[in-house]
Amino acid sequence: MLAVETSDLTRKFGEFTAVNKLNLAIRRGSIYGFLGPNGSGKSTTIRMLCGLLKPTAGTGTVMGLDIGQDSEQIKSQIGYMSQKFSLYDDLTVSENLAFYAGMYDLPADAARRKIQEMLELAHLADSKNELAANLSGGYKQRLALGCAILHKPPILFLDEPTGGVDPKSRRMFWDIIYALADAGSTVMVTTHFMDEAEHCDAIGFIYEGNLIADDSPHKLKMSLPGIFITIPADNPMELMQQLAEERLPALDIYPHGASVRILTEEKTLGYYRRFAYQITSPSLEDVFVYYVKNRRQEAPR
């Protein structure tokens, strides 16, 4: 059973296509990482799934409900945390929680219990009487998460929840996300942090509105057509120049700190024997750089 399924989901703003023919399939109970550079259409996609924006073309379902027709029913099924803090600055932490408990129609005693639970879960008990405006970034995000999961939604959309958050809060965030997924919730989360992406069950990579890669982190790394090697160099640019002049076979080549990273087919590895190279397992970043370059060659914009 899929928690989210879209077919050719598209959103245009005037002439500009923010999201282009997206086909997503997110398994129930999984953590789906949604990655992409700034302006690539992550927020727009999530907003369409939450019913905040109407798709201009294509269809989709969330928990089996159609995002076009059943958008109101979907709303009681989802938790949403927007990229920009959108709780009430002039309410305190517990007032914000109580407000959203009311919005999700929780009975009084359940609400009280849930609010307490959220205060503890998000480590906010000490600042429950603080105005939201006075909270620091990490606290604000934790409060927003608390408000989004208060009603135990089967699916959670988190739009860059850890942007501008200190490492400790970030850790706490992911602990909560794991716990929710273990309890059976589906989580779709956007992030810019590659280490966070590594922890997801599946990753979608969106670039200029197009989904250019979509699989588990492991399979994505395996999908590269070759092996990554690293050659240490005091002057990486000089080395790259030299490699280019010698026309050594490479699928991809780029400087990386005090070294050069090269993607090459296994059978051509011998050409590099004279360099003191090391075989390194590709990072997700390597994967995305490769896919983006590939994409650019296929379909230049």
Ligand X SMILES: Nc1ncnc2c1ncn2[C@@H]1O[C@H](COP(=O)(O)OP(=O)(O)OP(=O)(O)O)[C@@H](O)[C@H]1O
- The answer to whether 194 touches 284, Cβ cutoff 8 Å, is yes
For residue 79, give the nearest of 5, 154, 176, 141 by alpha carbon. 154
- Of 53 and 98, the one with the shorter C-beta distance to ligand X is 53
Residue 83 binds Mg ion (CB under 5 A) = yes
Number of Cβ within 10 Å of residue 74's Cβ equals 20
Residue 43 binds Mg ion (CB under 5 A) = yes
What mask, x for binding Mg ion by CB under 5 A, covers residues 23 to 42? -------------------x
Residue 62 binds other proteins (CB under 8 A) = no
Tell me how far apart the alpha carbons of residues 25 and 73 are, in angstroms, rounded to a whole number. 20
Could you give the maximum distance between any two Cα atoms of the chain, in Å? Answer: 74
Binding at 71: pick from other proteins, ligand X, Mg ion, none (beta carbon under 5-8 Å per type): other proteins
Quickly list H helices, the chain.
42-49, 71-75, 93-103, 108-121, 137-149, 167-182, 194-198, 217-222, 236-246, 284-298
| Part in contact with other proteins (CB under 8 A); list of ranges 93-101, 195-203, 266-274, 281-289 | 93-101
Interface residue with ligand X among 6, 20, 43, 162 (CB under 6 A) is 43
Residue 84 binds other proteins (CB under 8 A) = yes
Residue 41 binds ligand X (CB under 6 A) = yes
Q: Which of residues 15-34 bind ligand X (CB under 6 A)?
A: 18
CB of 41 to ligand X, least distance (A): 4
Q: First-to-last CA distance in the chain? A: 36
Summarize as ranges the residues that interact with other proteins (CB under 8 A): 47, 50-54, 71-72, 75-76, 78, 80, 82, 84-91, 95, 98-107, 144, 147
